[in-house]
Amino acid sequence: MPERGLDSSWLHAWGQEVSQGVSRLMESFEETHGYPAGDNEVALADDETRAAVTLLTNRRPGYVALLSLFAVIDSVSLPDIGNGYFIHPPSTVTAHLDEYGAVRLKNGDHGIVFGSDGGGNLFALTADGTVHKSRTASWNDEFYAVAASLGDFLEQLRGVIEQFAVTGRPGAL
């Protein structure tokens, strides 16, 4: 059964909490790590995002959770959290679908690539809502499940940020 859409108020709160946590981290980032922080942000959806979501909806209407995410959040860029974590904007997701298609997963399912880490490993969402990660920086490599749902993935990402704030080392995602 496909994952239900994510609640917009929960997504707004998640975005705000992540933004606040990252802002606190960046206050002492250069002092702690010895180099200036890049642009770490949660970008909220705007009219351009909504236009790109319409295109994505036309191509992959069954991905309700991803469409719910993009109704609130355009993208997430966290280059300084561990090796980096990124949720691509819907325009990039659509462009990647047009260029590469959906990725093939081990069990015969297909997934839409919606994000990556700083090493180029890809995150893909299946129609049933499971999030998978590539083992290497390749569209054709093996993917393995990392989260039961997009909401679970976002919670894990928040945990990675929190762990990085406390220990200086991110958790694994």
The C-alpha angle with vertex 137 and arms to 99 and 93, in degrees rounded to 5, equals 35
What per-residue confidence (pLDDT) applies to 15?
96
Q: What is the pLDDT of residues 125-164, one digit of tens each?
A: 998 889 999 999 999 889 999 999 999 999 999 999 999 8
Question: Nearest CA to 116 among 149, 146, 72?
Answer: 146
Q: What is the pLDDT of residues 29-83, one digit of tens each?
A: 889 889 999 999 999 999 888 888 888 888 777 788 898 999 999 999 999 998 8
What per-residue confidence (pLDDT) applies to 58?
80
- Length of the chain in terms of residues written: 173
Domains of the chain, first to last? 8-167 (3.40.1580.10)
The C-alpha angle with vertex 75 and arms to 149 and 127, in degrees rounded to 5, equals 30
